[in-house]
Amino acid sequence: MQDPKYTVRLMKEEDVPQVTEIDREVFPTEWMFRLSSSYYKEFKNPLAYYLVASTQSDAFTKSKMLSLTQLPLFKDFFNNAHDDYREEQNSQNPYIVGFAGLWMMAHNAHIMSLAVRDRYRNQGIGEALLIAVTELVSNLDANMITLEVRSSNDVAQALYKKHGFREVGYRSRYYSDNGEDAVIMNTDSLSTASFQLSFRILKEEHIRKYNNISLEIS
C-alpha cells in the first residue's frame, strides 16, 4: 500500500476549525486559552505565521475523542465540535494532521506551538513542520528561533536538540494546568555556516526517509 502524501504549507483561514481541534487533542488542558477565535485573529497579526501539514485522505474517526467526551464538562462542547468538523470534511477540505505556529519578534522567531494528531505521530510530520518553520524564518531573516517546552516532554526536546536547539534556561511553574516547569530552548544564529550546513543535512536526510512529505512554503 502506497504511503499517503502530506504537504506542509502556510495555513489558510478554512484550516482553522481543524487546527483548533488538533489543539484540543494534543493540548487538552491548554486548548481553552486558544479558541478558534484566537486563530482567526492571528490572520490579522502581521507578526504571526502558521503552517499546517495536510493530506487529501479523510482519516477522521469520532472515536479519537471518546475519552475526552466522557468528561461531563466537555461532552456537549465536543459533540458540537464534531458536528462542525463533519461539515468541514463534507466540503472536501484537505485533512489537517498537524500544525505549527510562530511569532516574529525583533528578528527572532518564537515557536508558539507545534502539534501532530496522535495517530499521525512517528511518521516524520512533526520534524517536517520544524524544518518548514526553520526554512520560513530563515527567509524572513530571523536571527534565531526560541521556544518553551514542558520539562517532561523528552520526545519534543530530543527533536529540538537534533535540530540545533539547546537549553538556555527554565521558567518555573510555567504551565498553569499542573505547575510544570518549561525548558527554554534557543538555536544559535541561523545565518552561521555551521547551522546552515547542519540544517541542510537534516533536511536532505528527512526527504530521503519521508519522500511522501513535501514542503510548499515559498
Instruction: List the CATH number of the domain containing 36.
Output: 3.40.630.30
Whether 33 is covered by a domain: the verdict is yes
Whether 141 is covered by a domain: the verdict is yes
The residue ranges of DSSP E strands in 65-180, in sequence order, are 95-105, 108-116, 144-150, 166-171
Whether 167 is covered by a domain: the verdict is yes
Whether 158 is covered by a domain: the verdict is yes
Whether 1 is covered by a domain: the verdict is no
Whether 176 is covered by a domain: the verdict is yes
Nearest to 64 by CA among 141, 121, 10, 131: 121
The residue ranges of DSSP E strands in 6-94, in sequence order, are 6-10, 48-55
Q: Is the pTM of this model over 0.85?
A: no
Nearest to 79 by CA among 58, 62, 59: 62
The number of distinct structural domains making up the chain is 1
Positions marked catalytic? 148, 160
pLDDT digits (tens, 9 = 90+) for 150-204: 999 999 999 999 999 999 999 999 988 788 999 999 999 999 999 999 999 999 9
Whether 128 is covered by a domain: the verdict is yes
Burial code of 128-156, b = ≥16 C-beta within 10 A, e = fewer?
A: bbbbbbbbbbbeeebebbbbbbebeeeeb
pLDDT value at position 31?
53
Centroid of chain to Cα 93: 19
The pLDDT of 75-97, averaged and rounded, is: 56
pLDDT digits (tens, 9 = 90+) for 89-141: 444 669 999 999 999 998 999 999 999 999 999 999 999 999 999 999 999 99
User: Which domain does 130 fall in, by range?
Assistant: 6-216
Whether 202 is covered by a domain: the verdict is yes
